[in-house]
Homo-oligomer: A and B are copies of this chain.
C-alpha cells in the first residue's frame, strides 16, 4: 500500500519541540511534508496575509524529509502555500501541533494550531490539531506517541465526517495517569480579560492583554471535564458556522 502523504504544520514555529515531535511520529506512518511558520504565530486565529508579501524558505532541519519549508505567514497561510504552491497532489492528512498550550473549549477559535487544521478541512483534507495543556517548551512529548499514532491511524482508516476536523488536547499529567481518550463537546467557557496597563519610557500608556479562563459549564461531556479527569479530549470541530437552529426564529421577525 502506498504511504499516505501527511502535511505537518503548527503555530509555535517550525523549530518548536512540539512540531519536531509530531514530525517524528508522522515519519513512522507516512511520507511527510512540513510547511510551518518561521516565527511564533500563537493566537492568530484564522488570519491570512493579504496586505503583505509571503516568503517561503526550504529548510532542512530533518535530513530524512525532502520537503520542509518555513513560511513567513500565519498557520492558515502555511496550509494554503502547501496545498496550492508546493504540493502536486492533495495530502491524505494534515496534522497541526503539537501546540505548547491548551486549545480546549473556546480557545479553539483563537488558536493558530486549530485554524491550520480547519483550513485543511475547508480544502477537503482530513485534519487534526494536537495541543498539550503543558505550556513548557521542554515538555516530554514522548509518552504521547502511541496516542497520537492511534488517533491518526483511526482517521486515516475511517476518514472524518464531511466538514469536520478534530481538536485533540492532552492533559498535563504523567503518561501513567492518562485515563484514555474521550470524545467531547467544547465546554462553554471563556476568557475574562484584564489589560495590564503600563507606561513606556516616553511616558505613553500601553497595554498587555492578560486574562483568566473561566469555565461555568459543569457538563461531564465537555473537553474541560475530560481533561480534568486526566483523559485526552477529542472534539469534532465544524467550520460551517451557520446556527441552523436559529433560522426559524429569525424568519419569524419579518424583517
Q: Which residues of A contact B (CB under 8 A)?
A: 40, 42-51, 53-56, 74, 76-77, 80-81, 83-85, 106, 108-110, 115, 118, 122-123, 150-151, 154, 158, 160-161, 163-164, 166, 180-181, 183-186, 188, 190, 192-195, 197, 204-209, 234-247, 249-251, 253, 255
B residues in contact with A197, CB < 8 Å: 85
A48 CA to B247 CA in the complex, in Å?
Answer: 30
CB atoms of A209 and B161 under 8 A apart: no
CB atoms of B45 and A46 under 8 A apart: yes
By beta carbon, the residue of chain B nearest A238 is B243
Given contacts A54-B195, A54-B207, A194-B84, contact A237 B241 (CB under 8 A): yes
Cβ contacts A to B, 8 pairs, < 8 Å? A53-B206, A54-B209, A85-B197, A122-B190, A161-B243, A161-B245, A161-B246, A237-B242
The 7 A-B pairs at the shortest CB distance, nearest first, are namely: A45-B46, A236-B246, A238-B243, A236-B243, A181-B255, A45-B45, A84-B193
Given contacts A183-B251, A236-B243, contact A122 B106 (CB under 8 A): yes
B residues in contact with A154, CB < 8 Å: 253, 255
Across the interface, A48 reaches (CB within 8 A) one of B45, B74, B161, namely B45
CB atoms of A236 and B250 under 8 A apart: yes
**Could you say how many copies of this chain the assembly holds?**
2
Given contacts A84-B194, A250-B183, contact A55 B206 (CB under 8 A): yes
CB atoms of B50 and A43 under 8 A apart: yes
Q: How far is the CB of A126 from chain B (nearest CB, A)?
A: 12
Q: How far is the CB of A156 from chain B (nearest CB, A)?
A: 12
Q: How far is the CB of A120 from chain B (nearest CB, A)?
A: 12
**Given pairs A54-B207, A80-B193, 4 additional interface contacts (CB within 8 A):** A46-B46, A84-B193, A84-B194, A85-B197
